[in-house]
Amino acid sequence: MNYFNIDFLIVYAFLAITLIIGIRAGRGIKDIREYAIGNKMYGTLTLTLTFLATNIAGISIMDGASGVFFNGIVRIIPEIGVVIQILFFAFFITPKVLQFKAALTLGDVMGDLYGRVSKTIAGILGLFYSISMVSMELLGLGITIEALLGFQASWTIIIGGVFLALYSSYGGIKSVTITDVFQFLILIIVIPLLANIALKHVGGIKVVFASLPPTKLEIFNHENFSYYLTLFLLWSIFPVGITSPPIFQRLLMGRDAQQLRNQYFIVSVFHPTFQLLIMLIGLAGLVLYPTIKANNIIPHIIQQLLPAGGKGLAIAGLLAVIMSTADSYLNAAGLVFAHDIVKPVYDRNGLKIDELKCARYSTAIIGITAIVIALKSTSMLGLSFLAVKFTGPLLMFPLIAGIMGLKVDKQTFYTASLTTLGVFVFISWLLPIAYGHLGVPISILSNGITFFSMHVIKNKGFAIAKQLQSTIEVNMRWQLRSRSILAKLKQFLPTPTNLLAYSRNKVDMYGAPYVLFGVLLAINYILPYFAWTYEAPQTYNTLLMIRFIGAVLCGLLIVKEKWPRFLLPYLPTFWHLTVLYCLPFTNTLLFLNTQGSIECIANVAITTLFLIIVVDWMSFAILMSLGIYLVCVFFQYFFGKIELPLSFSLQYLLVYQFIFITLIGLLFVRRKPIKKTSASDRFAGTELGEQMEFAIQVTSRLVDHLFFYFKNTHQVWSNDRDGFIH
């Protein structure tokens, strides 16, 4: 075997660069805080990249592709759960977690909430979790290199483990972060390139889905649906990812809540996109090589489809995925061992410890331990489940409850933990092997029920610990107060009072172009309607009435200055109802009535972007979802069963334009809060200023984005009403 061909040289260069930048970045570390969280020195982009590099593990690449290869599109269910978990972090965890300003690890937070013993328990569980994950990644490293380069897996595991331990132990989080960024940049080149090449050899996405066996398109009737539903529950309803030591470590690295929230919003967009590319690689591999083993799909595609040099780059990309996760967990393992397990023992005995040196030595020793475990293991997925088997059930609910401000105590935590262990042992004995994966969610559920039941019994309800600012110097004290569950839930129920308050708050914050919107939509409803031809003339009268109602609603917006004074408090709610009716409801109804004509597909793009411009992003999500749902109910009641005989190309175009126009709109043209400080801002807050501002916004942004859209889809509309022109 030639160990100095172009592919090997690319791999050598990647490893050398990783080691060099890792060692250089870790120089000059002075204390354990800098070693653990880098003194919160990193910006949003760096934090985002290191989070993505850590979160996208080697198993997510291999199992993602092999999962869709073997089971079909049902594999997408857990990824939906991951996105829900990421958004949960963004909205609920990031505003609260930085109150633990001195914390370096998850164990520190548990110690603040439940005492020193709880910190040690969290440290032991975190150590177990991290070692399992490092071992899993090293095993994946050995399997990948042996399959692609023919190098013996055991030697790859040993060399790779030593390599990771060198820079991870020396530079801590500073070395890990900078190498994560470098590795992610390699990864973001390789995976899209691999997906593009695989799809090109198949003939495109259309050919992929047209060639799949029907069983690969099943979801709810799939034989493994319960397994993937379990994974969905673990990552959404039960967000066990918060108990991952390196993931929690990156939460503590944030400078402020807004930085962390922005990070998670970016991740919520990138993660599903990346996973979609991986799944497309697996589906393309199924069409190209239906007889090979599922676990070999990515190595086989690299071997068969990539030329010399490209193969080495792809291998470097896979190494980047594996190493960026392994070094993060290795760093976290050494840190929690030194900080959460060893240091408390020294503190209780009145002894001093060089915590930085201890963390470095611990990381190196744990790296060797992970090598031994990887050499003895045969299943990456088994190690992955082993990692969350105890940490998630024992820590998730107590940790989230404490972060969110629930009044917590040691007795509740210990009682819930003992109950959970008992349930886990019993369930593991009771369930057959085929349903063993249900043990983790059942254990988590038992922990939550026990924990919150104990809390309610002890406090006679839910007691919330609320921080109050008592002095100008911002000295914080804790005040306890109780709330009933019903009173708390009432705040989120769509009662008339809550709906009125929601609309007023949103209009006060973002404004509303009542008159301009009314004029524009009233003209659109009246004039073009009679010039159109219809494929279903029997629905003409019904649609005419629907458009007439829309014109009346818009007319009422135009004459809002003439409204009686007692009706003005209801104007914001009327505004949202009118937008709901005129945009998502009416245009979705036209789309269904014309059975998805190409003109109405184009109208979907215009409606989506228009809705993003006139309301805030949360109202956009609510109104769009509600409008589509109401149309489906209305259509089936008045017109009969919904039938959309769309070709695959039109389905693809519809989904593609909706997703990307929504994404572009929310990122670049969404409505932003009004800040009225200067004279010009005060003018913008007046009726005339608001209408002028909206007109300029519509003219510039809508034209720019729609010009780009029409330019790229003109050929489809003019030459092929039923599909794409490739």
DSSP for 482-537? Answer: EE-HHHHHHTTS--HHHHHHHHHHHHHHH---HHHHHHHHHHHHHTGGGG---S-G
Give me 478's structure tokens.
Answer: 């804790």
pLDDT at residue 357 greater than cutoff 90: yes
pLDDT at residue 83 greater than cutoff 50: yes
pLDDT score for 683 = 42
pLDDT score for 480 = 41
Using 50, 70 and 90 to split pLDDT, how confident is the model at 678? very low
Lowest mean pLDDT among 194-198, 389-393, 444-448: 389-393
Helices marked H in 89-238: 94-97, 106-114, 116-149, 153-202, 205-211, 225-235
pLDDT score for 708 = 52
pLDDT score for 550 = 86
pLDDT score for 367 = 93
Angle at 523 between CA 522 and CA 526, to 5 degrees: 85
**Would you tell me how many other CB atoms lie within 10 Å of the CB of residue 564?**
6
> CA nearest 370: which of 144, 106, 123, 169?
169
- Proportion of the chain above pLDDT 90, given as a percent: 22
Q: Does domain 6-25+33-391 have CATH number 1.20.1730.10?
A: yes
Lowest mean pLDDT among 1-10, 245-254, 590-599, 621-630: 590-599
pLDDT score for 111 = 92
pLDDT at residue 127 greater than cutoff 70: yes
Q: What residue ranges do the domains of the chain occupy?
A: 6-25+33-391, 460-490, 502-719
More confident residue, 129 or 666: 129
Average pLDDT over the chain, rounded to an integer = 81
pLDDT score for 475 = 36
State the average pLDDT over residues 563-581.
91
> CA nearest 586: which of 556, 630, 622, 537?
630
pLDDT tens-place string over residues 490-542: 666 778 888 889 899 989 888 888 888 888 887 776 655 444 444 455 566 77
pLDDT at residue 682 greater than cutoff 70: no
pLDDT at residue 676 greater than cutoff 50: yes
- CA–CA gap between residue 465 and residue 588 (Å, rounded): 46
pLDDT at residue 468 greater than cutoff 50: no
pLDDT at residue 279 greater than cutoff 80: yes
Using 50, 70 and 90 to split pLDDT, how confident is the model at 248? very high
Q: Is 480 helix (H, G, I), strand (E, B) or coil?
A: strand
State the average pLDDT over residues 424-441.
75
pLDDT score for 711 = 55
State the average pLDDT over residues 370-389.
73
pLDDT score for 145 = 87
Q: Is 408 helix (H, G, I), strand (E, B) or coil?
A: coil
Q: Hunting for tokens 């569950």 — which residue is that?
A: 485
State the average pLDDT over residues 206-230.
84
Q: What are phi and psi of 480, to 5 degrees?
A: -100, 135
pLDDT at residue 592 greater than cutoff 80: yes
Top mean pLDDT of 61-65, 424-428, 610-614 is at 610-614
pLDDT at residue 695 greater than cutoff 80: no
Helices marked H in 431-495: 439-459, 485-490
